[in-house]
Amino acid sequence: MKKVLFQGHGSLRLTADDIVIYIDPFAGEGYDVPADLILVTHQHHDHNKLELPAKKPGCRIFQNIDAIKNGKYVSFDFNDIHIEPVQAYNKNHPIDECVGYVLTFSDGKTIYFAGDTSKTEQMSELANRDIDCAFLPMDGIYNMDIPEAIECAEIIGAKCTVPVHMAPGQLFDMSRAKRFTPKTAVKILEPGEEIEV
C-alpha cells in the first residue's frame, strides 16, 4: 500500500509499506515519522528544510545537486523503488538546478512529483508512462498558472492529479484548487490529508 500525505505548499510524505520518503520538506505537519529517504527538487528555501523530518539510521538524502551530474540526470534504485529525476524549469527555476521525480515501484505503480516547474518537454513522454498519480504546482507566480497546469495534467494523463504549491506563503488555497479542472481525474487534498495510490 502506498499513501502520499500532503503536508502543505509543496511538501509531501510518501509511505510505501515500511519505507518513508519525504519530498521537499518545508511546510505543515507530519515530520515525526522517521525517513528512509528525503528527496529535494531544488534549493529554494521552501523546499529543502532537511532538518524537519525525523530520520532513520542511514537515511539517504538525494537532492537536485545529486540528481544532475555533468548535464545528465542520475537515476537510482532504493528498496525496489526506481527513482528517476526529470526536467523541471521555468523563468524562476533554471533547468540545470531543478528536477522533478518519477518513482516507479516493483508492482508497476508510478508517481510523478513535478517540483517547481512550468510545462516541460518531457511531459509528453510521461504520457507514455501510465502515471498513477501526479502532483503539479500551480501558483502562477513562481510556477505555471492554473490554465497551464490544466494543460500539463491533460498532456501527462495520470490516473489522478493532485494540485499543490498553490499560493506563495500559504499551505493551501481552496479557491485556486477548485479552479483546477482538467479533463482527467483530480483529487484535491488539504494539508494533512492523504491519497492512496
Residue 96 lies in a domain: yes
Between CA 191 and CA 13 the distance in angstroms is 11
pLDDT above 90 (res 1): no
Residue 196 lies in a domain: no
pLDDT above 90 (res 179): yes
Residue 78's DSSP bridge partners are 81
pLDDT band at 95 (very low <50, low <70, confident <90, very high): very high
Residue 44 lies in a domain: yes
pLDDT above 90 (res 168): no
CATH number of the domain to which 101 belongs:
3.60.15.10
Work out the average pLDDT over 3-8. Answer: 98
Residue 79 lies in a domain: yes
For 150, the enclosing helix (H) or strand (E) is helix 146-156
| pLDDT, tens digit, 9 for 90 and up, residues 51-89 | 999 999 999 999 999 999 999 999 999 999 999 999 999
Q: Domain containing 176: what range?
A: 2-188
Q: Mind giving me the DSSP string for 37-76?
A: EEE-S--STTT--TTSS-EEEEEEEE-HHHHEETTEE--E
Give the three-state DSSP class for 114: coil
Domain count, the chain: 1
Of 171, 112, 96, 161, nearest to 139 by C-alpha is 171
pTM for the predicted model, two decimal places = 0.97
Share of the chain above pLDDT 70, in %: 100
